[in-house]
Amino acid sequence: MDYYLSFPDEASAKAVLYRIEGAQEATETTEAVEGTERPNFVNIDTIGVIYKDEQPITGWHVNVRLMDNEDGSALESFAVTPSTPLRIWG
């Protein structure tokens, strides 16, 4: 299934589309480890800001194509239906 998504901003998109793995808080004997950003979905196409007639369209835009084993429920509240998508999955 393909999703066309519009998030309020880039940070909101990253919070849904990515996770941090390997992060560790500092303890008395160890330093903190930032971790690594990993995608929650195999196929993510980040578009970012879209312009129409030189005016930005509100939102941070991303396309996601789900694989059969991926759960898209976290994406549904950000789904939009563009009349003419800027980019589509081929």
Query: pLDDT value at position 86?
Result: 87
Question: For the chain, what's the residue count?
Answer: 90
| Cβ atoms < 10 Å from Cβ of 4 | 20
**pLDDT confidence of residue 11:** 96
Task: Specify the 3-state DSSP secondary structure of 90.
Answer: coil
pLDDT score, position 73: 96
87 lies in a domain? no
Where in the sequence is the domain holding 72, given as residue range(s)?
A: 2-80
Q: Give me the pLDDT at residue 33, please.
A: 76
User: Is the model's pLDDT at 23 over the cut of 80?
Assistant: no
HEC secondary structure over 63-85: EEECCCCCCCCCCHHHEECCCCC
List pLDDT tens digits, range 52-90: 999 999 999 999 999 999 999 999 999 999 998 989 888
In a domain, 90, yes or no: no
Inside any domain, residue 12: yes
Percent of the chain whose pLDDT exceeds 90: 70
Mean pLDDT over each residue of the chain, to the nearest integer = 92
